[in-house]
Amino acid sequence: MSVPQLLSPGWHWQDLAAGQELVTHGRTITEYDLMNFITATGMTEVIFTDQTHHGAMPGRVVPGALTYTLMEGLLVQGMLQGTGLALLEISQKLLAPVRVGDTIHALVSINEIVPTSRHGRAVVHSTVSVLNQDGVMVMTYDAKRLLAGRAAV
């Protein structure tokens, strides 16, 4: 009997190349996402909890941290499942507000791959550009991750 093949395995560092671009699926942010996130994190600021609040940004804005974590979730599901070993470094810029009802996705650009001296791993440096449904870049971040390599046969 054969061993079943795993659905949606992550990408090993050998499957990537500097200059390569990848795109995630989209994800619509719901009121439920916002309320669960701010409740779990304690970010119960009125800009997020009061629909009638008239702050500097109109609409039902969400924390930048929620946008970031949703993108990381999409990356885990589509690229890092079982191969992502550690997030080593991140540098982030928030460029435009994200609101409940927005659909976000990311363009991932692989910048550099540096194999380590042990265990067949590599440090993968990428730039993640998060865009909304109108093509507006709302966030960008550079990430350095430790990724597993393919097992030696």
Give the domain 13-29+62-147 fold: Thiol Ester Dehydrase; Chain A (3.10.129)
Task: For 76-87, write each residue's pLDDT tens digit.
Answer: 998 999 999 999
Are 37 and 63 a contacting pair, CB within 8 Å?
A: yes
Helix, strand, or coil (residue 108)? strand
How many other CB atoms are there within 10 angstroms of residue 11's CB atom? 20
The torsion angles phi and psi of 19, rounded to 5 degrees, stand at 95, -15
The model carries a pTM of: 0.91
Per-residue pLDDT tens digits for 45-65: 999 988 888 878 888 999 999
pLDDT digits (tens, 9 = 90+) for 85-122: 999 999 999 999 999 999 999 999 999 999 999 889 99
Looking at the chain, the whole-number percentage of residues with pLDDT higher than 70 is: 97
Q: Which residues, including other chains, have CB under 8 Å from residue 33's CB and lie 6 or more apart?
A: 62, 66, 70, 100
- Shortest CA distance to 146 belongs to which of 10, 13, 23? 13
**How far is 43 from 33, CA to CA, in rounded Å?**
13
